Amino acid sequence: MSGQSKTVYLNLSEITEVHEKDVFVKDVGKVYCSDTNIQSKCECIKVKHIQEDKSKRYVENVLDVIKKMEMLDPVIQVNNVGKVDYIIDYQPPKPSNLPWQWTKTLFVSVVCFCGAAFAIMTFNNDASVRDVFQEFYGLIVGKEPEGFTILELTYSIGLALGITLFFNHFSSWKINTDPTPLEVEMRLYEDNISKTLIQNQGRKEQDVDVQ
């Protein structure tokens, strides 16, 4: 029974952020084996020791992890069910600086608010929304509007509600469990970064680089 092979299922994440220089299998993925003793040993295998003290992303290959697991015990048979190339995103531990974080958040919020307001105003000006409202008000009521009307009020309220419904997010409240458009775009951006890092690493190994 002792000579029977033990299958270890390895599932590595595409990119993992770590804050310690010693990186173990359990930090970058998940391991499952029917033998809990072997599973614990595999999870504690060191996959990388980071030498530098700066933020950096390292592209690694699952074959190196499989070799270390099989060297651990001859009965281990590794079945990779995750990524072939994975990324270790090392971020050195930094002291918390809440005032600076709130300052950055406030700055980004002001820039986004002003940018969105400017975009809406320029659109309304280009499309002559105010003239359209005046014409529409005259057709319905039969006289020229004096100042702002209910059309501008409902338009402003509807615009705010439409943005909230579209982004599916207001503070910590969400309309449903679907990811917001912003979350989707951020995930696509992260996926593109990961793919580019992996492809660039492969090109450098083959002495073919666009740089």
pTM, 2 dp? 0.68
In this prediction, residue 205 carries a pLDDT of: 60
pLDDT (0 to 100) of residue 3: 56
Q: Where is 80: in which H helix or E strand?
A: strand 76-80
pLDDT tens readout for residues 5-29: 789 999 999 999 999 999 999 999 9
Angle between helices 181-205 and 150-167 (to 10 degrees): 40
What does DSSP assign to residue 5?
-
Query: Residue 40: which pLDDT band, with cuts at 50, 70 and 90?
Result: very high
Q: Is it the case that residue 206 has pLDDT exceeding 70?
A: no
Tally of structural domains, the chain: 2
Give the pLDDT score at 167: 72
For a pLDDT cut of 70, what percent of the chain falls above it?
91
Q: Which tops the pLDDT comparison, 168 or 194?
A: 194
| Domain end marker among 56, 90, 124 | 90
Same domain, 150 and 182: yes
For 98-114, what is the mean pLDDT?
A: 90
Residues 13, 19 contacting (CB under 8 angstroms) = no
* pLDDT reading at 100 higher than 50: yes
- Asked whether 10 and 83 are in contact (CB, 8 A), the reply is no
Mean residue pLDDT across the chain? 85
Q: Is the pLDDT of residue 1 over 50?
A: no
pLDDT digits (tens, 9 = 90+) for 164-179: 777 766 666 666 777 7
Per-residue confidence (pLDDT) for residue 209, from 0 to 100: 52
From 56, 68, 61, 106, select the one nearest 84 (Cα to Cα). Answer: 61
Give the per-residue pLDDT at 49: 94
Q: Are residues 110 and 81 in the same domain?
A: no
pLDDT in tens, 143-166: 877 777 888 888 888 888 887 777
| In a domain? residue 185 | yes
Tell which of 45, 62, 90 closes a domain. 90
Among the candidates 90, 113, 134, a domain finishes at: 90
Please check whether residue 117 lies inside any domain of the structure.
Answer: yes
> CATH number of the domain that 65 lies in?
2.60.480.10
* Whether 110 and 173 share a structural domain: yes
Residue 52: helix, strand or coil by DSSP? coil
Domain that holds residue 16: 6-90
